Structure formats: structure tokens, C-alpha cells
A = this chain, B = another copy of it.
């Protein structure tokens, strides 16, 4: 989808208003996701400078100038060596007309620890602060263009889940399923998967995180499948848990509990409720069923250009206090319910908080007996 240039300019203007509120003189954009959010361009090792006032500046390797200009419509400066790039950045800081400019840099997963330490050493006259207070308020509320792309990503998630469930049978390996599913949805337009697909079977369904290994799927296994396809930069997230062959009473019980919990939460989501409220509700629910100690916090998280973004309570504890707002897209059902001897369950969907809550992913949720 071609997003009008006006939209990117408006995102930049809004970031400048937030910089003004926060007393931040400039933003350095280093992540693929934020660079794409502000420009629409996809480029490895992006470098973009946004001053509190005036026009942004994009830095690219010399050979990329023409295309970057065409894609962003912004001012481009080029470099061939690292010291040239640093020179442009230092000149930009000087142009801000502030003795000790306060510069926001993304501190999240896109920025490695050494880079900030070295940046601070190389730029002693710059005060480095976390860009989150400027980026998160923008990114967490999705506009119509973003919603359109996220719905497409959710359709791919449904397609991927259907393909995965179709393939499951005793004897096939987790990895074989993952390879085919990824191939199919990339052919259908997925840019990539946001994270390596989980095909967690048997005892491995109890894992907090997952992957797809050489383990063969066996009769009686619970299989937890979690997929995050990316469509033109935007992610969706779906998880389902199925059983190979006939489900035991214990498997039915824990799957039923998880599903009840997830569906209740989707009903409860509305502007003003916090992530903490949701987790507290779930803890009470699990306590009622004698499983309080098995509840893993962090049932909801934001999703967009990153598959986990604000609110992101499992990594940023302060995000537990984030209130749900109209315009957010959330993934509901993030944590695993792992019961030793029985297995693990997760049912996760991508949903939009509009006037009503709209579920973007729609693959059936009931416990399926497959193979």
C-alpha cells in the first residue's frame, strides 16, 4: 500500500510536538521500525535525525542516495566511512544552537548497549535520553493505514495457522512444519516472520518461549503453535494449542481454562483499563481454579511495527500501568499455562481497540484434535 507522504510528515510533526513537551532537542532514529514509521522507506542500518524544529535529515551510504531520495522525499546526506557519518551527526548537533543538546535515542532492542556507551564517550556535549516518551505515544495509537496493513498481517496469520494445523500428524518434525508454513505465507506476501515460529510439542509445550526443533510430533502431544507474520512492516500474532489424537481430560481442562480466561479478557478490554488490572483479574480467575501459582504475568502486549511494543509489560514493568486506549492494537494471550505432566497451553489473538474490540485474527480457538 502506498501511504501518502503527508502522513509521514504529520508523524514527524507530532514527534516534534512531543520533543517540545519533553524538552528534547533532537531524535536519532536508528531502528528499522521507527525509520519506516517516519519515512515509509525500508533500509538496513538506517540513520535519521529529527530536530525539534525544522526538517529531518536522512543519512545513507553514498550508493543509496538516489533511491533514498525517491522513497523518502527528504533531505539526504551521504557517507562512505564511519567517520564521515559521525561528522554529519556532529555538525547536525551544532546546528541545533544549544550548548548541551538533549538527544533522544531508542534504547530498546534495536540499540545495543555498546553503541550508547560509545556514543556518550564520543559526544560528551550531548545529553543522551531515552526516546521512548516521544516514540511510544505515537506508535501505540494506530492510524487507518497501519490498521489496514495489520489486518492483512492477521489474515496471513490465519492462513499460516491453518497450514500448520493441517500438517500436524504423528511422525512429522516440528521443523518440517515450520519450514513449509513460512514458505507458504511468504509466497502469499508475508515480508518475513517477526520471530521464528514456535511449534512446541509434548513437554516442550510448557516452554515460555519456543522454536521448531528436530523433535517428532507424537500421538498425545499438546502442540503450541505461535506465529507472527509481517506484512509491509506490520506484525500480527496468533497462537493456538492443539492435541495430536484424542485429548485427555486434563488437556481439555487446561485448554478450556485458558480459553475462558482469554475470552473474558477480550470482553473486558476497554479504554481506561490497565495491563495490571487484566493480570490481577487473571490471577483471581486462576486462584478460583486452584492454579494461582501457575499464572505467568503479562497477558497483553502492544503490537505494530514491532511484534511486541508499548504496552510491553513483560520487559518494561512500568508498562503495567499503561491504560488501554482507543486506537491500540493488542495481542491477548501472551503467557503460557504450563502444567507439569499435562503440557502447556496458549491461545493468542491480535485485536483492535476501536469503538468496539475487533478481533483481527480469526482462526477457530476450540481445542482441536488433529493428525
Q: Which residues from chain A sit less than 8 Å from chain B, CB to CB? A: 42-45, 61-64, 66-67, 80-82, 105, 107-117, 130, 179, 183, 186-187, 192, 196, 203-204, 206-211, 213, 293-294, 296-297, 314, 316-317, 336, 338, 340, 344
Contact = CB atoms under 8 A, between A and B. Distances in A.
A26 to B, nearest CB: 17
A67 B203 contact: yes
B179 A183 contact: yes
Nearest to A106: B113
Contacts of A297: 81
Contacts of A107: 112-114, 117
B344 A296 contact: no
A203 B61 CA distance: 13
How many identical subunits does the complex contain?
Answer: 2
A284 B272 CA distance: 65
A215 to B, nearest CB: 10
A317 B183 contact: no
Contacts of A179: 183, 186-187
22 contacts: A44-B207, A44-B208, A44-B209, A44-B210, A44-B211, A45-B208, A45-B209, A61-B207, A61-B338, A63-B206, A63-B338, A67-B203, A67-B204, A80-B296, A81-B296, A82-B317, A108-B112, A109-B112, A113-B115, A113-B116, A116-B116, A192-B196
